[in-house]
Structure 1
Amino acid sequence: MTGQIDKKWKIVRTVELNSAADKVWAMIGGFYTIHLWHPDIEKTEIGSDQTELPEIRRILTFPGQPTTTEELIYMNNPGLCYHYRWHDGAWGRAIKEYHAEIRVIELEVGKRCLVQWTGHFVYHEDGLTQFYENGFTNLKKIFN
Structure 2
Amino acid sequence: MNALFKSLLTGLLLLPAVVFAHGASRLQVEETILINASPETVWAAIKDFDSLHKWHPAIEATEATGGNEKGATRVLTLKGGATINETLKKFDDASMTYMYQIDEISVVDQIEYEGHSFDVPAVPVSKYKSWVTVEAEGDRTKVTWLAKFFRAYTGKHHEPESLNDDTAITAISEFYKSGLQNLKSSVE
Q: TM-score, normalised by structure 2?
A: 0.65
2:178 aligned residue (119, 131, 134): 134
Contact 2:62 2:76 in 1 (8 A): yes
| 1:52-131 equivalences in 2 (<5 Å) | 55-90=71-106, 91=121, 94-108=124-138, 111-123=139-151, 124=164, 125=166, 126=169, 127-131=171-175
Aligned-residue CA RMSD in angstroms? Answer: 2.0
Contact 1:19 1:112 in 2 (8 A): yes
Give the Å deviation of 1:112: 1.1
If asked which structure has higher relative contact order (CA below 8 Å, sep 6+), I would say 1
Number of residue pairs matched by the alignment: 133
Give the Å deviation of 1:92: 7.8
Deviations 1:26-66 (A, max 9, x none): 0011111011000010010026xx6xxx8310000001142
Distance 1:18-1:69 versus aligned 2 partners, 3 A rule: same
Measured in 2, the distance between the counterparts of 1:136 and 1:93 equals: 18
Give the Å deviation of 1:9: 1.0
Give the Å deviation of 1:136: 1.2
Measured in 2, the distance between the counterparts of 1:92 and 1:61 equals: 10
Residue in 1 aligned with 2:20?
Answer: none
Measured in 1, the distance between the counterparts of 2:186 and 2:48 equals: 16
Residue in 1 aligned with 2:53?
Answer: 35
Larger radius of gyration: 2
Deviations 1:81-128 (A, max 9, x none): 0000011233488411100000001123xx411000000111122130
Contact 1:92 1:98 in 2 (8 A): no
Counterpart amino acid of residue 140 in structure 2: R
Residue in 2 aligned with 1:23?
Answer: 41
Distance 1:64-1:28 versus aligned 2 partners, 3 A rule: same
Counterpart amino acid of residue 97 in structure 1: K
